[in-house]
Structure 1
Amino acid sequence: MSKVKYYYDSETLSYRKIEAKKSKKFAVVLTFLLGIVVSSFLLLMLYLNIPGIETPKERKYKREITQMKLQYELLDKKMNNVVEVLEDIEQRDNKIYRVFFEANPLTSEQRQSGFGGINRYENLESFENSELIVSTSKKLDVLTKRLAIQSQSLDEIVQLAKNKEALLEAIPAIQPVKNDDLKRTASGYGMRYHPIYKYRKMHNGMDFSAPRGTEVFATGNAKVKKARLTSGFGNLIILDHGFGYETYYAHLKDLNVRRGQTVKRGEIIGTVGNTGVSTGPHLHYEVRKDGRPTNPMNFYHGDLTPEEYDIMFNMSTLENQSLD
C-alpha cells in the first residue's frame, strides 16, 4: 500500500493531502503498458530464435509433412512398379499382338508423349516441397496417359481379333468341286493357249473338268454379288467374301443362289455346266484380291495336305490348253 503524503498549507494553517496529478497518473499507466508490450515482444523474439523450441502446432505440422513425404515416396515406388508392368504389356503389344494381326506398332513417341501448352503445375510450385509434389504429379499424369493409349491399343487388338476370325471364315480355303483324286485339275493359272481364239492369253483362274450337274461349293463365307447369265462366262456366280476377296464360278449349268444371299463355306451354290465361251463341261474358278486376279493355288490350305498341294500345283503349272 502506497504511503499517503501531506503538505503544510500556511494559509489555512493545516496539513493537506498531496493529490497526484491526472497527467502524471496517465504517464505512469502508459509507461507501464509500454513496458509490458516491449517485454512481450522481446520475449517473443527470444522464443522464436531459440533453437529447439517448437509450439504444439509446429510439431503437429512437422509430423504431417514427414508423413506426407513418406507417402509420396511410397506412391513413387508403386508408380515405378506399375510402369514396369505397363512397359512389359507395351512390348508384348508391339512385338506379339500387333505383329500377329498385321497392325503397325505404336512408337515410343506415341506412347510417352507429354503434355504441351501452359504450365499444368504452376499452382504446385509455391510450396516448400514443390519439387517432390510436381515430380510425382508429372509422373502420374504421364502414366495415366500411357495407360489410356495402351487401353485403346488393346481395344483395337480385340477388334482385329474379331476381324481375323471373320477373315479366316471368309477367305477362300477349299476347292470349289469335289476333287479327292486331284484328277479334275484341267488347267491352271497363267499364260495358256486359248482353245477358241487360238492364241496364248492370260488364264486368270483354274479349270476343273467334271460332268454336268457336279456340285459346286462356296469356298468361304460370303455374300452373293452376282448370279446370272453372262456372255463370256455363261452362268456366273460372283461371291464377295469381304476383306477385298471375291471368287468367280463360271460356265455353270444351275444357279442355286440369288444376288444378296449369304452363303457359308462348303455350301452348294450351283452345278458344273458348259455355258458361255467353253469347249466342254467344266468349272472356271477365279480368286480376286482387291479386284486383281490371283492364283487360286494359294487358297487350298483348307482341304489339301502338303503332299496333295505339291501334286496339284505341278498339274496346274503344265503349259496345256485351257477349256475357256
Structure 2
Amino acid sequence: MAKVKYYYDPETLSYRKIEPKKSETVKKSILWILGAMLIAFFGFIGFSQFLMSPKERTQKRELENLKLHYELLSKRMEESSEVLTALQERDNNIYRTYFEANPIPEEQRKAGFGGVNRYKHLDGFNNSEMIKDVTKKIDVLSKQMVVQSKSLDEIVNLAREKHKMLAAIPAILPVKNQDLTRTASGYGMRMHPILKVWKMHNGMDFTAPTGTPIFASGNGKVVKAHRSSTFGKVIYIDHGYGYTTIYAHMSKMVARKGQKVKRGDLIGYVGNTGRSAAPHLHYEVHKNGRPVNPIYYYYGDLTPEEFIAMQKASQQKGQSYD
C-alpha cells in the first residue's frame, strides 16, 4: 500500500493530504514498465545459457574449442612454412649448387591451384571463411612439401653418384703438355687461319706432332666417331651430367662409336685433318649443350701456378689453328 503524503497549510494551520497529479502518475507507470522490461532483458541474456538444451551447450563448447584449435593450427602452419622456406633456400643455394643441379624456380615451388573454385564445397557453413582459409594453407604447404621432397630425393641420388660424377667431369688435359708449350690458342674471338676472318673459337688448340696420343678427359661414352669437312677425324664423348667433349683433327681414331671410355684412356692421335692449318688437337667442352671455356676443367692436372700460366697463354688474341 502506497504511503499517504501530507503538507502543512500555514493559512489554515493544519495538514492537508497531497493529491498526486495525473501526469506524474503516468510518468511513474512508464518508468516502472521500462525498468521491468530492462530487468527482464538482461536477466534473459544472463541466464540464457541455463535455458539452452544440453545439445546446444555441447555444440557451443565444441565451436569455441574449434576456434581455439584453428588459431593454434594456423600458428603451427606458419612456423612450418618458415622452416620449409629455410630448407628451400638451403636446397637451392647449397645442396643443388654443390651437385651442379639447376635450382627449382620460385614459381614452381609456390605455384597456386588453377581451374575451377576447388573450395566451393566449403561455402554455406557458419564458419566457411575460416574453414576455407585453413584448407588453402594446408594445400599450399602440402604442395611445397611434395616439391621439396622430390628435390631431396634427387639430391640423395646425386650424392650416391657423386663419385661417378667426379670421374665423368672432363678434368685433365687431353694431351700431355709438358711445360705448357703446346697451348696455341684459347677460347674466344680468334682470327681463322684459312677464312681470315674473326670468329668465335669455342675450344682450345694444342700443337703437337702428328701421332701424339690423345686421351679422354673424363669417363663417358663415345657418341660420335666420324670424319667431317670442318673437324676432320673427330670424336664426341658424352660424359653425362650435361658434359660433352670434342676432339678434332685426329690423324687416327682409336675409340669407336658406342664404346665406353675412362679418364686417361687413349682415344686417338693428333693430326691435321679437316679445316686445319697445322698438326694440332682442337678440344671443346660443352655443358648442357653450350660450349664453355675448357681451361676451367683442368683442375685434375694443373697446379695453381700452371693454371695461371696456361690462362695467360690461352688469352693471346692471335690466330687459331682451325
Task: Show CA shifts across 1:201-256 (max 9, x none).
Answer: 53442222335544323234443221123444332101234566532212224423
Q: TM-score, normalised by structure 2?
A: 0.64
Larger Rg: 1 or 2? 1
Aligned partners of 1:76 and 1:136 also within 8 Å: no
Q: Structure 2: where are the runs of 5+ without partners?
A: 1-43
| 1:68/1:234 CA distance change after superposition, 3 Å | same
Matching residue within 143, 162, 169 for 2:137: 143
Specify the alignment match of 2:306 in structure 1.
Answer: 308
Shift of 1:312: 0.5
**Unaligned 5+ residue runs, structure 1?**
1-47
- TM-score normalized by the length of structure 1: 0.64
Deviations for 1:166-190, whole angstroms, at most 9, x for unmatched residues?
A: 8766553332123363222122233
> What whole-Å deviation, never above 9, does each CA across 1:117-164 have from its counterpart, x for those lacking one?
6632235x2xxxx33xx3552243123211222123214523664579
SS at match of 1:110: coil
1:239/1:247 contact within 8 Å kept? yes
**Relative to 1, partners in 2 of residues 1:104 and 1:170: Cα closer, same or farther, differing over 3 Å?**
farther
| 2-structure distance, mates of 1:179, 1:79 | 65
In structure 1, what is the equivalent of residue 33 of structure 2? none
The SS at the match of 1:80 is helix
Q: Secondary structure at the match of 1:258?
A: coil
> Structure 1 residues 52, 272: closer, same or farther in 2, change over 3 A?
closer
Q: CA RMSD in A?
A: 4.1
Q: 1:62 aligns with which of 50, 57, 73?
A: 57
1:152 counterpart = 2:151: no
Task: Show the 5 A alignment for 1:196-235.
Answer: 197=194, 199=196, 201-202=198-199, 203-235=201-233
In structure 2, what is the equivalent of residue 116 of structure 1? 117
Aligned to 2:68: 73
CA contact 2:109–2:144 (8 Å) conserved in 1: no
Q: Which residue of 2 aligns with 1:106?
A: 107
Q: Contact 2:192–2:321 (CA<8 Å) still a contact in 1?
A: no
Q: Match of 2:250, SS?
A: strand
1: distance between equivalents of 2:215 and 2:131? 63
For 2:320 and 2:314, the matched residues in 1 are separated by 11
Asked if 1:89 is matched to 2:84, the reply is yes
Checking the alignment, whether the CA contact within 8 Å between 1:224 and 1:238 is kept in structure 2 is yes
Measure how far apart 1:199 and its partner are. Answer: 3.4
Mapped partners of 2:107, 2:231: distance in 1: 47
How many residue pairs align between the two structures? 266
Comparing 163-172 with 258-267, which one deviates more in the overlay?
163-172
Residue identity matched to 1:240: D
Which of 258, 267, 270 aligns to 1:269? It is 267
